[in-house]
Amino acid sequence: MPEAGPPAPAAAAAPVLSVVMPAFNEERNLERAVRAACEAAAPLVAGYEVIVVDDGSRDATPGLLARLQHELGPRLRVVRHPRNLGYGAALRAGFQAARGEIVFYTDSDNQFDLRELADTLPLLRDHDAVLGYRSERQDPLLRKLVSAGFNALASLAFRMSVRDLNCSFKLFRRERIQGLPLESNDFFVDTEMVARMHQAGWRYVQRPVRHYPRREGRSTVRASDVPRTFVSLARMWWRLRRERTPAIHRAPAP
């Protein structure tokens, strides 16, 4: 079971925005990522919280988070997994811990400019979710080709048109994301998330976001994950087909 860090004081007002960031062995990225999230959120809403889910890190991540908690107080909340449970499990824990009316999630590797939230938040006035897609994606060519193929196949399987399923720049209404029955423990959670919201009739819109190279640390995505991801895709297709979810409503990418 996840171990939650110290709760915010009872007298503190509930935040408007919750920024969820999974982290696994991100000691070289995390401090910059947390500070960037605080700097981006502070001028946009009356109150915010940054929720870091430490997914069983074995490096200096826990100590770094303890220091940042001491400095930032209730603005930073930490959920700790005693062992690595996977990216999907970390995201689910972060979503359930969120108290803000709006939930945003991103990775802790500093590949996005969170100041783009300023142009993203207003889109939630007319939508349940905003899905970012990486503009000029800064990843190796093979990874981009595999991702493009997977996006095309998943869009065909679930009868949707989503440009970048695995882009970790997504924004939701809290009651919607907390009510979504997510099950994936690994990186397939992004696909499950979008497929379920699509078939449940969510109003969502896609928008481009700038993407930057990873400067520190290493991605935990491996080539060996590809076959398992395609198996997960087939299982999700069958599961959603059996569930017979409602009709679709969507907004096209600009």
- Total domain count for the chain? 1
- Determine, yes or no, domain membership for 120: yes
Residue of higher predicted confidence among 198 and 242 = 198
Residue 12 pLDDT exceeds 90? no
Residue 11 has pLDDT above 50, yes or no: no
Q: Does pLDDT of 194 surpass 70?
A: yes
The closest alpha carbon to 20, from 82, 83, 85, 88, belongs to 88
Query: Residue 219 — very low, low, confident or very high, per pLDDT cuts 50/70/90?
Result: low
In a domain, 174, yes or no: yes
203 within domain boundaries: yes
Asked if residue 103 lies in contact with residue 172, where contact means CB atoms within 8 angstroms, the answer is yes
Q: Which structural domain, as residue segments, surrounds residue 197?
A: 3-243
* 249 domain residue, yes or no: no
Distance set, CA 73 to CA 32, 50, 95 (Å):
17, 11, 20
- Neighbouring residues of 140: CB distance < 8 A, sequence distance ≥ 6: none
Tell me, yes or no, whether 168 lies in a domain.
yes
Catalytic residue at 109? no
Percentage of the chain beyond pLDDT 70 is 87
Q: What residues pair up with 20 in beta bridges, in sequence order?
A: 51, 105
Q: Is residue 248 part of a domain?
A: no
Q: Which one, of 55, 43, 50, lies nearest residue 69 by Cα? A: 50
Write out the DSSP string of 151-170: HHHHHHHTT---S-TT-S-E
CA atoms within 13 A on the CB side of 250: 21
Mean pLDDT of the chain: 88
Predicted pLDDT of residue 8:
45
119 domain-assigned: yes
Distances (CA, A) of 217 to 27, 68, 148, 210: 8, 20, 24, 20
Per-residue pLDDT of 58-85, as tens digits, reads 999 999 999 999 999 999 999 999 999 9
Q: What is the CATH number of the domain that holds 72?
A: 3.90.550.10
What letter does residue 9 receive in the DSSP assignment? P
**pLDDT of 244:** 63
Segment 94-115, tens digit of pLDDT: 999 999 999 999 999 999 999 9
Q: Which of 109, 119, 190, 225 is catalytic?
A: 190
Question: How would you class 30 by CB atoms within 10 Å of its CB: exposed for 0-12, middle for 13-18, buried for 19 or more?
Answer: buried
- pLDDT range class, residue 240, cuts 50, 70, 90: confident
Of the candidates 198, 192, 188, the one whose C-alpha atom is nearest the C-alpha of residue 127 is 198
148-167 mean pLDDT: 90
* pLDDT at 179 > cutoff 80: yes
| 162, 155, 195, 129: CA torsion to nearest 10 | 10
H helical segments located in the chain? 30-41, 61-72, 87-97, 117-120, 141-157, 174-178, 189-199, 225-243
Residue 178 lies in a domain: yes
Token duo for residue 69: 């908690």
